[in-house]
Structure 1
Amino acid sequence: MKLIDSIKKDFNTMTLVLIPVAIAINVVIGQIVVLLRLPVYLDSIGTVLVGAICGPWAGALTGTLSNIIWGLLIDPNAFPWFPVALFIGFVSGWCAHFGLFRTWWGVVITGFLVAITAAIVSTPIAVYLYGGITASGSSFITAFLLQTGRDLVSAVLSTNFLVEPVDKIATALLAYAIIRGLSRRYLMRFPRAENVMPKQA
């Protein structure tokens, strides 16, 4: 019963309004990064935002839907990564629940924890579905490591541990900047607003 109540708490009218906006942010920025072949992703800003102010279940749903919609409508290569996006939203939400979205350094810790999770979840997908070489610019790092004699799993995992912390910390800080730009009155309309309120406020 507590689990059901926890899930229900994440979803109010404001959550349902924010999720489509967050999905659009993820897809647009993510597609730009793919087209530019940048060695980062930046496709989870909306997911982290929803996770922080609406909760882990809403964050997980936002991440999942982002990649499914992106994959079905624009880039089929985005679809298989939906489990990674799910965990990004879920971990972000729980980090905010424990107060890590109240300060910039807590947000950095959140980004790092999300990065470790994303690296672990994404490695099997990259290895078994794509042979380690994906559409991301980070594949150049994987290719280089393979040339140095690393095995495929080691090369992909090493690439992920190099790229993910930079990407997810930047993603979390951008989401934090958006939150800080919102008025307290507006924030309080979201179900988990207390998770991002500074202690002194």
Structure 2
Amino acid sequence: MKDNVNGLKIGREDYKKVLYRYLTLLSIVINIIGAYLVLNLNLPVYLDSVGTILAAILMGPLVGAFVGLATHFSLGVFMGPAYFYFAVVNGVIGLITGYIFKKYDFNLKTIISASIAIALIASLMGNSISYIVFSGITGESVDILTKNLLELGFNLFTAVYISGFLSNFLDKLISFAAVFYIMGVIIAKFKMKEFKIFTK
């Protein structure tokens, strides 16, 4: 009897490892698709952390951080070296998201609070990199907002940080909405009960 129980535990652990592996790969692919869409549609957001947030909520902060880092290293190879510089930002997004939703329920209040917190930190880090390395202009569609602010009389430093925060906040709200939908598909359609997601 004891051997049977141990066998079931091992089988469940193996299943969980395989599940995590596929979800990790799926999360990276989602990020890459998001970045590709933004680049080609000139959207004033990023969408390269949807998968990072998904992985962090479902599998924890360390997996979320790994997905964020792996995403930008992949984007750096396939879409341009500028993405390498922002890998740490996506990694930190994964860490913060994972820790927040490890402690708090997945609901509207937490999503908005998390979006503000993550947008502040991500914009501070990303804008600092953008300002120091690229003089505030990275070649992304967000630069349009920066240029508009410059035309209104803001200095470069202020324009970069304002546009960075606004685009980051909008990006995180969209990302969490996408994650909510994706989680619904994963948990309901595929009947994966490995995750405890609170939506109250």
What is the TM-score when the length of structure 2 is the normalising length?
0.84
What do the CA deviations read for 1:6-40 (whole angstroms, capped 9, x no partner)?
A: xxxxx933222211111111111211211221111
* Distance in 2 between residues matched to 1:170 and 1:198, nearest whole Å: 17
Distance 1:60 1:83, change over 3 A: same
* Distance in 2 between residues matched to 1:80 and 1:187, nearest whole Å: 36
Flag the structure with larger Rg.
2
Paired position in structure 2 for 1:197: 198
Paired position in structure 1 for 2:112: 108
The question of whether the paired residues in 1 share the 8 Å contact of 2:142 and 2:167 is answered with: yes
Amino acid at match of 1:182: I
The question of whether the paired residues in 2 share the 8 Å contact of 1:61 and 1:86 is answered with: yes
Q: Kindly, what percent of the aligned residue pairs are identical?
A: 26
What do the CA deviations read for 1:80-117 (whole angstroms, capped 9, x no partner)?
A: 1101101111111111112242x233223222222111
Does residue 154 of structure 2 align to residue 150 of structure 1?
Answer: yes
Offset, 1:73: 2.1
Distance 1:44 1:97, change over 3 A: same
* Distance in 1 between residues matched to 2:199 and 2:192, nearest whole Å: 12
What do the CA deviations read for 1:12-71 (whole angstroms, capped 9, x no partner)?
A: 332222111111111112112112211111111111000001001100010000000111
Does residue 145 of structure 2 align to residue 141 of structure 1?
Answer: yes
Does residue 76 of structure 2 align to residue 75 of structure 1?
Answer: no
> Which contiguous aligned blocks of 4+ residues in structure 1 show a shift greater than 6 angstroms?
none
Paired position in structure 1 for 2:133: 129
* Distance in 2 between residues matched to 1:158 and 1:188, nearest whole Å: 41
Offset, 1:162: 1.5
The question of whether the paired residues in 2 share the 8 Å contact of 1:100 and 1:107 is answered with: no
Distance 1:73 1:148, change over 3 A: same
* Distance in 2 between residues matched to 1:183 and 1:67, nearest whole Å: 27
Does residue 49 of structure 2 align to residue 44 of structure 1?
Answer: yes
Offset, 1:178: 1.1
Amino acid at match of 1:117: I
Distance 1:100 1:164, change over 3 A: farther
Amino acid at match of 1:161: F
Picking from 14, 17, 23, the partner of 1:18 is: 23
Any residues of structure 2 matched to 1:54-69 within 5 Å, and which?
Answer: 54-69=59-74
* Distance in 1 between residues matched to 2:63 and 2:129, nearest whole Å: 23
The number of aligned residues is 184
